[in-house]
Amino acid sequence: MRYLFWNTHNKNVDSIVCELVKKYTPTVLTLAEYNGNIEQLVGNIQQSSNLKYKVVDRFACRVQILINIKLYDKVEHCHDHKNYTIKMLPYNNYKDNHIVAFVHLPSKMNNNREKNRYLLEKITSQINDLSIETDRKVVIVGDFNLNPYDDAMTQLTGCNAVSSRNVALKIGRKHWIEKEKQFLYYYNPMWNFLGDSNNVCGTYYYDKTTDHSRYWNTFDQFLVSPHLIKDIKEIEIVTNVGNIDLTDKHGVPNVKFSDHYPLYFKLGGK
């Protein structure tokens, strides 16, 4: 399964999306802050790459989801909210399923930390209610408007997402008050992209100077449940595609296209 997520920042980027699809051939393409004609985009993709997608039904959620047409009839809708939608999708040569939560949480710039923690708690709770039949094969992907190290991402009552595969493989941990309840782990591989060791420092840059400015942020992330850790094959923060450089002369996302870089990852063999 190949996944491609991009917060397009309400820009006209259809031609770039077509190039991204040609290069990465995603099974699932997800766009946040997209205000173009989504059906026209589907047609443009097919014309440029001969790949066929269908738009997954959405209700309250602002995120647009395109899925390979072969899988469209197998999509099961589970939950929907303005800031997220949860679907059941085929997985592993389409012989079993996995749960995917697509998120676009409120902006961190507007002091929404507590709101985002509440939303992540709600998302993981709803996933837990569904995950028995899928052996906890779960992906949570999108623009979290949080960094991997923010409390809402790491707190056991939030996302309970950790940086260590070995810790996540312990499956869960218990609260010192609610000792009878196990809070299930997620593994967050985007911790590995903090700093500049990968030649890119994050997915979003914010240069308004304050006494605690971090400049680079990794808001665009994906998390997996322990049963999918071994399936992580590829991860890329995309800074160029074809002959298009998504970075400006200062080495940050070119806002002519978007203030976020796209995120691509692959799970399993297809």
Q: Is the dihedral of CA 237, 240, 241, 245 positive or negative?
A: positive
**Measured between alpha carbons, how far is 240 from 254 in angstroms, rounded to an integer?**
11
Instruction: Could you list the beta-strand ranges (E) of the chain.
Output: 2-7, 28-32, 53-55, 64-68, 76-81, 84-91, 96-104, 138-143, 161-162, 172-174, 182-184, 186-187, 204-205, 216-217, 220-224, 232-237, 240-241, 244-245, 263-267
**Which value, in Å, is the radius of gyration of the alpha carbons in the chain?**
18
Residue 96 has pLDDT above 60, yes or no: yes
Q: What is the pLDDT of residues 180-230, one digit of tens each?
A: 778 889 999 999 999 887 788 999 998 876 656 778 999 999 999 999 999
Q: How far is CA 225 from the centre of its chain?
A: 14
- The helix/strand/coil state of 210 is coil
Q: What is the pLDDT of residues 30-66, one digit of tens each?
A: 999 999 999 999 999 999 999 999 999 888 888 999 9
Residue 269 has pLDDT above 80, yes or no: no
- The helix/strand/coil state of 99 is strand
**Measured between alpha carbons, how far is 243 from 60 in angstroms, rounded to an integer?**
36
For position 135, what pLDDT does the model report?
67
**Measured between alpha carbons, how far is 89 from 103 in angstroms, rounded to an integer?**
16
% residues pLDDT > 70 (the chain): 93
Q: Picking from 14-23, 101-110, 139-148, 214-223, which range would have the lowest pLDDT averaged per residue?
A: 101-110
For position 114, what pLDDT does the model report?
84
Place of tokens 């009839």: 73
Q: What is the pLDDT of residues 142-160, one digit of tens each?
A: 999 999 999 999 998 889 9
The structure's pTM equals: 0.95
